Amino acid sequence: MIDRITISTGAAAGANGSATATAYSPHVMGKILKVHVAYKNTPPAATTDLYLYEAEDPNATEYIVNLQNAATDVTLYPRRATVTSLNAPIIYATNNNVHEPFVVCGRLAAKIAGANADDYADVTVWFES
Q: pLDDT: is 7 or 59 the higher one?
A: 7
Does the structure show a pLDDT above 80 at 129?
yes
Cβ 11 vs Cβ 120: under 8 Å:
yes
- Structure confidence at residue 59 (pLDDT): 85
Percentage, residues of the chain above pLDDT 90: 91
For 61-73, letters b (16+ CB in 10 Å) and e give eebbbebeebbee
CATH of region 2-128: 2.60.120.380
CA distance 104 to 81: 15
pLDDT band at 60 (very low <50, low <70, confident <90, very high): confident
Quick check: 95 pLDDT over 90? no
Domain regions of the chain by residue span: 2-128
φ/ψ of residue 47, rounded to 5: -130, -10
